[in-house]
Amino acid sequence: MTTPVVSSIALLRGGAGNKSKASARRTYRTKTSFVAVHFDETGRGNIVFLPEGAALRVTGPSSCLPEGSEVTFERRTHHVFEIDLMERSVLVFETIGAKRRALATYA
């Protein structure tokens, strides 16, 4: 006698998904060249220099660098320190929701 097995996949909507979409919309343009780390498929880190004028899209917090961010440049994921991102680049695009949250913290 056989019994059919049914499996289900639940997709969670809300908090985490919206947060990643909002952070993915932050884009910075570098003012100077600075160091980033790119990890290949084997997990080996390579130090690279991001050029002046590069557009970096923030994809989220870095899973490899404490106090770092994960950014995309030329379709490759790089990890940069947050201080380098803030001091050596300028914000060129930010979501309206992020602006509202920033203004709410100062109010």
Write out pLDDT tens, residues 50-96. Answer: 999 999 999 999 988 889 999 999 999 999 999 999 999 999 976 66
CA atoms within 13 A on the CB side of 107: 6
- Parse the chain into domains and list their residue ranges: 20-106
Confidence of residue 106 (pLDDT cuts 50, 70, 90): low
Confidence of residue 100 (pLDDT cuts 50, 70, 90): low
Residue listed under structure tokens 């490759």 = 76
| pLDDT score of 105 | 60
The three-state secondary structure class of 83 is helix
Residue 51 CB partners (closer than 8 Å, separation 6+): 30, 33
Q: Are strands 68-73 and 27-30 parallel, antiparallel or unpaired?
A: unpaired
H helix runs in 1-107, sequence order: 15-24, 82-87, 96-106
- Determine the topology of domain 20-106 in CATH: SH3 type barrels. (2.30.30)
The three-state secondary structure class of 73 is strand
Q: Give the whole-angstrom CA distance, residue 11 versus residue 82.
A: 31
Rg (CA), the chain: 18
| pLDDT score of 10 | 37
